């Protein structure tokens, strides 16, 4: 067993213990431990409580003593992101701020189709580096777990490229990246009859190929925001 490690003291520690799973939360429901410590072993929290008390109870623990007034709480989860993409939407953002509509931006060559084009042009290594970089930017704001969608590839080959990039980016960041295969909800250039044709194509072709390649870690495959498989259980993995 790995040696115990004691981290603290934290001015305040919020464990989120005993909170309801649903409904609103009030400040009075938050259990705050003052001058707290966290006892860790093999990457897992063993105990929390008053720092001095834990230090006395576990005198042999390796102590990482902090200075300053720190507050510790569990990492945030962003359950919906598209951080795996090529190109930049900065110009789109500037145009929107100047009053241009989304349709005007799209007609001028920007918008989501530009992102699709740039993502398809990008090689996998570029997508890996960019996804990891954006995940690390999220990490600095306290977000430690991110869901990351594919969807800008549109073809089987490009969707697999994105999913593989997300998987590899997960190895390049301390964050946890959970990927989702997303069937895009719009007609792509050169592909008509989306409503029935592409939906059937996703189930028939994408699913079997993704299953063979094992390109992502979770059991969801989304189309128009809904799981393709009844009950939310995708038989790909």
Note whether 164 and 184 are same-domain residues.
yes
> Quick check: is 203 in a domain?
yes
Of the three residues 74, 97, 132, the one that is the final residue of a domain is 74
Verify that 29 and 143 share a domain, yes or no: no
Residue 70 lies in a domain: yes
Q: In this predicted structure, which of 118-132, 137-151, 200-214 has the lowest mean pLDDT? A: 200-214
Q: Is the pLDDT of residue 200 over 90?
A: no
**Range with lowest mean pLDDT among 32-41, 115-124, 161-170, 189-198:** 189-198
pLDDT at position 190 is: 47
Question: Do residues 101 and 196 share a domain?
Answer: yes
Q: How far apart (Å, rounded) are the C-alpha atoms in residues 150 and 81?
A: 10
Q: 58: helix, coil or strand?
A: coil
Q: How confident is the model at residue 231 (pLDDT cuts 50, 70, 90)?
A: very low
Query: 76-81 and 226-227: which strand pairing?
Result: unpaired
Query: 2: pLDDT confidence band, cut at 50, 70 and 90?
Result: low
Q: Is the pLDDT of residue 236 over 90?
A: no
CATH number of the domain at 215, please.
3.20.20.140
On whether both 110 and 34 belong to a single domain, the answer is no
Q: Is the pLDDT of residue 179 over 60?
A: yes
Q: How confident is the model at residue 227 (pLDDT cuts 50, 70, 90)?
A: very low
The number of folded domains in the chain is: 2
The answer on 163 and 115 residing in a single domain is yes
Pairing of strands 221-223, 226-227: antiparallel
Q: Are residues 52 and 116 in the same domain?
A: no
CA-closest candidate to residue 216, choices 225, 207, 224: 207
d(CA 1, CA 4): 9
9 and 125 in a single domain? The answer is no
Helices (H), the chain: 51-57, 90-97, 102-107, 111-121, 124-139, 156-169, 199-201, 207-213
One domain for residues 113 and 135: yes
| Averaged pLDDT for residues 100-108 | 88
pLDDT in tens, 141-173: 999 999 999 989 888 888 889 999 999 999 999
CATH code of residue 69:
2.30.40.10
Asked whether the beta carbons of 166 and 131 are under 8 A apart, the reply is yes
Domain co-membership, 55 together with 127: no
pLDDT category at 215 given cuts 50, 70, 90 is very low
pLDDT at position 62 over 90: yes
Domain check: are 68 and 171 in the same one? no
User: Structural domain of residue 111, as residue ranges?
Assistant: 77-232
Residues 112 and 56 reside in one and the same domain:
no
What's the average model confidence in pLDDT over 82-99? Answer: 93
**Claim to verify: residue 66 and residue 83 sit in the same structural domain:** no
The whole-number average pLDDT for the span 119-137 is 97
Region 83-95: mean pLDDT is 93
Using the predicted structure, report yes or no on whether residue 52 has a pLDDT greater than 70. yes
Last residue of a domain, one of 74, 91, 106: 74
Mean pLDDT, residues 95-117 taken together: 89
* Residue 237 counted as domain residue: no
Residue 221 clears pLDDT 70, i.e. is over it: no
* Helix (H/G/I), strand (E/B), else coil: 149: strand
How confident is the model at residue 206, as a pLDDT?
Answer: 61
Mean of pLDDT over the chain: 83
């Amino acid at each position: 067993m790995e040696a115990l490690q004691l981290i603290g003291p934290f001015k305040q520690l919020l464990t989120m213990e005993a909170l309801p799973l649903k409904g609103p939360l009030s400040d009075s429901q938050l259990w705050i431990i003052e001058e707290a410590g966290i006892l860790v072993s093999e990457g897992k929290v063993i105990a929390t409580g008053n720092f001095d008390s834990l230090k006395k109870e576990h005198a042999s623990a390796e102590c990482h003593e902090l200075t300053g007034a720190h507050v510790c709480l569990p990492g945030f989860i962003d359950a919906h992101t598209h951080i795996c993409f090529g190109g930049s939407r900065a110009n789109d953002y500037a145009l929107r701020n100047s009053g241009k509509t989304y349709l005007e931006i799209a007609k001028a060559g920007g918008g989501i189709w530009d992102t699709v084009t740039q993502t398809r042009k990008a090689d996998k290594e570029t997508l890996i580096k960019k996804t990891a970089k954006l995940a690390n930017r999220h990490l600095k704001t306290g977000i430690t777990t991110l869901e990351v969608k594919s969807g800008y590839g549109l073809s089987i080959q490009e969707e697999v490229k994105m999913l593989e990039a997300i998987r590899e980016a997960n190895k390049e960041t301390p964050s946890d990246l959970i990927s989702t295969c997303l069937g895009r909800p719009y007609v792509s250039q050169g592909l008509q009859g989306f409503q029935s044709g592409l939906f059937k194509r996703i189930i028939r072709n994408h699913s079997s190929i993704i299953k063979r390649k094992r390109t992502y870690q979770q059991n969801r495959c989304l189309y128009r925001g809904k799981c393709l498989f009844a009950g939310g259980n995708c038989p790909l993995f």
